[in-house]
Amino acid sequence: METATGGYKSLPFFKQSEIIYDFTVEFVKRYIDYKSRTKDQMEQAARSGKQNIPEGYLQKSLEGRIKLVGVARGSLEELLNDFLDFLRQRGLQLWEKDSPKAQAVRRLVYNRYNSYNNYKIYMDNPEDAANAAICLINQTNALLDQKLRWMEERFINEGGFRENLFRKRMERKKIG
Among candidate residues 42, 47, 51, the one with its CA nearest the CA of residue 69: 51
82-108 burial: b if 16+ Cβ within 10 Å, else e = bbbebbeeeeeeebeeeeebbeebbeb
Q: How far apart are CA 15 and CA 136, in angstroms?
A: 11
Mean pLDDT, 10 residues at a time, the chain of 176 residues: 64 96 98 96 98 92 91 98 98 97 95 91 98 98 96 80 62 73
pLDDT value, residue 7: 85
pLDDT value, residue 92: 98
pLDDT value, residue 54: 95
pLDDT value, residue 45: 98
Which segments of the chain does DSSP mark as H helices, in order? 12-31, 37-57, 62-89, 100-108, 126-158, 161-175
pLDDT value, residue 1: 43
Q: How far apart are CA 88 and CA 92, in angstroms?
A: 6
pLDDT value, residue 97: 93
**Three-class secondary structure of residue 58 per DSSP:** coil
